[in-house]
Amino acid sequence: MKLKLKIWRQKNPKSKGKMVDYNVSEISKDMSFLEMLDVLNESLNNKGEEPIAFDHDCREGICGMCSLYINGEAHGPSRAVTTCQLHMREFSNGDTIYIEPWRAKAFPVVKDLVVDRSAFDRIIQAGGYVSVNTSGNTIDANAVPVPKVDADEAFDAATCIGCGACVATCKNSSAMLFTSAKISQLSLLPQGQVERERRVLNMVKQMDAEGFGNCTNTGACEVECPKEISLENIARMNREHIAASIKSKS
Ligand code: SF4
Ligand code: FES
């Protein structure tokens, strides 16, 4: 396949970026989207030009690093896949493809297609953990009975890979799908009960402090999420937040 690419280039966080045109050829339909970018970068390297910076790591849909806005959609046109799992068979010979970074105030561009997602790390640091006794008396997690429904819902929430597609897709740049998944995966389990109220209050507070917008129930985040994280997590987070706020004031 031959393709025309329009790619966002930006030298550093302060410089003004712009879309730049590139042509690639000999692209196999079996290549992943990132392999197609590798081909382009190799040709740029061979010409002595600066390769395009983009995030990636596992290339297996598990690390959440890859983060491209492709033809106006987070992770491209396929559903329930990350950019590294997107294949060139989804495109046709001669297509023009627009490739941009995530765009959100809380995810500033570092370079080209790379954005700073450390705001997510700070939300996790605010409460996305459980404290365990490591004095030698730690109870084996398998020894604590968990109802099957709760275990399944917690597991589903835990599949969030922190990619940020939900934020990039949302017209409000809301991080509520991510934050609620991280809260749910712990609050549904017995081990998550001790810090339950503190956790939801602190994580939501940090989410707001990072400059993410609010949820207005558009649902775009759920549609574009590569792990199909459910909006039900946002409803659960809101219920927990109201209950914890009332309790903390009483
Ligand atoms: S909720 Fe989905 S889209 Fe958002 S960070 Fe988690 S995996 Fe990515
Ligand atoms: S590179 Fe790890 S999820 Fe895409």
Give ligand 1 pocket residues (Cβ under 6 A). Answer: 160-166, 177-178, 181, 225-227, 229
What is the predicted pLDDT for the residue at 137? 82
What is the predicted pLDDT for the residue at 131? 87
CA distance 165 to 195: 28
Average pLDDT over residues 26-43: 98
Q: Is the pLDDT of residue 140 over 90?
A: no
The preferred substitution site among 55, 78, 161 for testing ligand 1, maximizing ligand atoms within 8 Å of CB, is: 161
Average pLDDT over residues 224-247: 97
- Pairing assessment for the beta strands 18-24 and 109-111 based on DSSP bridges: unpaired
What is the predicted pLDDT for the residue at 249? 86
Ligand with smallest separation from the Cα of 178? 1
CA-based end-to-end distance of the chain: 65
The 10s digit of each residue's pLDDT in 145-179 is 999 999 999 999 999 999 999 999 999 999 999 99
Q: Is the pLDDT of residue 132 over 90?
A: no
Q: Is the pLDDT of residue 134 over 90?
A: no
CA distance 83 to 99: 11
Domain limits, the chain = 3-111, 117-249
Q: Is the pLDDT of residue 139 over 90?
A: no
Q: Looking at domain 3-111, which of 3.10.20.30, 1.10.3720.10, 1.10.760.10, 3.40.980.10 is its CATH number? A: 3.10.20.30
The 10s digit of each residue's pLDDT in 96-127 is 999 999 999 999 999 999 999 999 999 999 99
Write down the number of H helices and E strands in the chain.
8, 7
**CATH number for the segment(s) 117-249:** 1.10.1060.10
The 10s digit of each residue's pLDDT in 197-229 is 999 999 999 999 999 999 999 999 999 999 999
Whole-prediction pTM: 0.96
The preferred substitution site among 163, 174, 184, 210 for testing ligand 1, maximizing ligand atoms within 8 Å of CB, is: 163
The preferred substitution site among 65, 114, 227 for testing ligand 2, maximizing ligand atoms within 8 Å of CB, is: 65
Ligand 2 centroid to Cα of residue 104, in Å, is: 20
Concatenated DSSP letters for 183-244?
Answer: HHHHHTSGGGSTTHHHHHHHHHHHHHHTT-B---S--HHHHH-TT---THHHHHHHHHHHHH
Nearest residue (by CA) to ligand 1, atom 1, is: 178
Average pLDDT over residues 138-143: 83
For ligand 2, whether the C-beta of 243 sits within 6 Å is: no
What is the predicted pLDDT for the residue at 247? 93
Average pLDDT over residues 72-91: 98
